[in-house]
């Protein structure tokens, strides 16, 4: 299936300083999002059952602590819809300012919460409320940052520059993990439970101040400003936009909404679903499987994930640059095809190899099956959508695909491996997830160089 696109004039007319500020802003917002969620997930696993749910059994307390972690994902979809629509109407800059404030403030306030021993049931209730606010802001953060940076970037460097958003995931996860590693290493259990657990959350306030300053000085996306339906920084309703545009633009405006949630949306959903599914299998399920079922020391798979994330600082920009050089589709097809070929031997090495071989297999799988496609996802999904609904469709597709894949995948993998007492279901699921992305990329048009100001979707 071949498609051609006309490369538009380079619309990223901002200065190098503006582009740098936008790139740092996108990277920092995504880093904060993943750091916030990783800080909470580690706290939920280590101390929150004792601090907020002490009157129940340890098992029930852990379940309750993890449940409060899960409510954040429920709020993400609501945030994607609300802020996505707002971002398409009033601009990317204003919405990204709101999302970073919601995320950063809620994370900081978690560190200031009284314990159950101090205010009783109000403590976990407030914890859930802050998690909902945090998730509501996070639901549109990565999509907004992706849209902003893709629309800022010079046409020939979109893939490379947009990939910086993806690097934020590694940065945030590693920073949160390092903070908790230090706390667990230097504090006693009593110190950790009394005040130590608060430090990572409260310290995020400094990062919030920097992010707020950065985004308050960020210029709006040049693509948003060039939209003919945008007047004084606000998108006109369709009827007013038609009256203010040319005949060709009116045709785009009429056909664009009819494609909303159409082919482009479902292809983007497929790209996201497959990548997120592989992420859930390798970064979440596989770590527990190696430690519990294969009885390998837990430090081995967790260390492998850290090494893989560090290598990702090379993989992510390289994948983005290759997408700029050869097109999005060929690189997508190569990465997902290679994942399907390597899935069985990789899992065989994980199950039967030594610690070194296991580590290499996980590092390779993480970068080929997860981080490489994630880099391409940043720019490709943004290019698939028309400018009038790009933020909304991008945010909703990312959240629906991510939530479905990461919620269902590990449960299915756990069920199948328990029933078969074998590792092959994990390999089979890696192949299935990669096939979904492969087919989606095969059916999608080549979007490299697409004119991002156009209203209609790419197909």
Give the mean pLDDT per block of 10 residues along the chain (459 residues): 48 72 87 80 74 67 57 84 94 92 91 88 86 89 91 92 88 84 85 88 89 88 88 79 61 54 89 92 83 81 87 95 96 97 95 91 95 94 93 94 82 86 93 97 95 89
How far is 314 from 387, CA to CA, in rounded Å?
30
For CA atoms 240, 455, 381, 165, give the dihedral sign. Answer: negative
pLDDT of residue 194: 87
pLDDT of residue 1: 47
Q: Are 88 and 389 in contact (CB under 8 A)?
A: yes
pLDDT of residue 58: 63
Return the exposure string of 9-27: e unless at least 16 CB atoms fall within 10 Å of the residue's CB, then b.
Answer: eebbebeeebbebbbebbb
pLDDT of residue 250: 56
- Please state the φ and ψ torsions of residue 296, each to the nearest 5 degrees: -95, 145
pTM of the model as a whole: 0.87
| Helix H or strand E segment including 305 | helix 299-326
Contacts of the segment 176-183: beta carbons below 8 A, 24+ positions apart: 176/34, 176/35, 176/36, 176/38, 176/39, 176/42, 176/200, 177/38, 177/42, 177/306, 179/39, 179/203, 180/39, 180/42, 180/43, 180/46
Return the exposure string of 253-262: e unless at least 16 CB atoms fall within 10 Å of the residue's CB, then b.
Answer: beebbebbbe
Q: Helix 122-152 to helix 390-420 angle, to the nearest 10 degrees?
A: 120
DSSP state at residue 27: H
How far is 46 from 146, CA to CA, in rounded Å?
33
Q: How distant, in Å, are the alpha carbons of 92, 93, 211, 429 from that of 217? A: 13, 10, 10, 45
pLDDT of residue 342: 96
- Please state the φ and ψ torsions of residue 441, each to the nearest 5 degrees: -65, -35
């Amino acid at each position: 299936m071949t498609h051609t696109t006309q490369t538009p004039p380079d619309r990223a007319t901002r200065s190098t300083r503006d582009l740098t500020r936008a790139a740092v802003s996108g990277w920092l917002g995504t880093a904060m999002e993943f750091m916030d969620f990783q800080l909470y997930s580690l706290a939920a696993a280590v101390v929150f059952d004792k601090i907020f749910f002490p009157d129940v059994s340890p098992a029930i307390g852990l379940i309750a602590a993890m449940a409060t972690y899960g409510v954040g994902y429920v709020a993400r979809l609501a945030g994607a819809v609300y802020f996505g629509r707002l971002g398409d109407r009033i601009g990317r800059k204003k919405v990204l300012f709101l999302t970073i404030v919601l995320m950063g403030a809620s994370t900081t306030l978690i560190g200031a919460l009284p314990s159950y021993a101090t205010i009783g049931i109000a403590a976990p209730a407030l914890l859930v409320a802050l998690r909902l606010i945090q998730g509501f802001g996070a639901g549109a953060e990565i999509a907004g940052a992706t849209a902003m940076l893709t629309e800022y970037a010079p046409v020939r460097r979109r893939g490379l520059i947009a990939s910086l958003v993806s690097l934020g995931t590694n940065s945030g996860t590693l920073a949160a993990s390092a903070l908790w590693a230090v706390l667990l290493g230097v504090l006693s259990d009593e110190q950790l439970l009394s005040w130590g657990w608060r430090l990572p959350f409260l310290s995020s306030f400094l990062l919030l101040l920097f992010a707020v300053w950065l985004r308050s000085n960020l210029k709006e996306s040049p693509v948003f400003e060039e939209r003919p339906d945008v007047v004084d920084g606000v998108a006109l309703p369709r009827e007013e936009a038609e009256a203010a545009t040319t005949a060709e633009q009116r045709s785009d405006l009429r056909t664009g909404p009819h494609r909303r949630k159409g082919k482009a949306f479902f292809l983007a959903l497929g790209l996201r679903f497959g990548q997120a599914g592989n992420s859930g299998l390798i970064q979440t399920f596989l770590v527990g499987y190696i430690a519990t079922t294969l009885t390998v020391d837990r430090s081995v798979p967790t260390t492998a994930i850290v090494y893989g994330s560090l290598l990702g600082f090379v993989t992510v920009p390289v994948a983005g640059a290759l997408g700029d050089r050869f097109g999005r589709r060929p690189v997508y097809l190569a990465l997902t095809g290679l994942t399907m070929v390597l899935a069985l031997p990789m899992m065989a090495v994980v199950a039967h190899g030594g610690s070194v071989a296991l580590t290499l297999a996980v590092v390779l799988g993480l970068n080929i099956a997860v981080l490489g496609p994630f880099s391409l996802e940043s720019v490709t999904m943004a290019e698939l959508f028309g400018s009038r609904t790009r933020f909304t469709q991008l945010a909703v597709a990312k959240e629906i695909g991510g939530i479905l894949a990461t919620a269902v995948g590990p449960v299915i993998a756990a069920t199948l491996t328990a029933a078969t007492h074998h590792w092959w279901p994990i390999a089979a699921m890696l192949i299935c997830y990669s096939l979904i992305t492969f087919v989606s990329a095969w059916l999608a048009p080549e979007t490299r160089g697409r004119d991002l100001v156009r209203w209609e979707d790419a197909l």
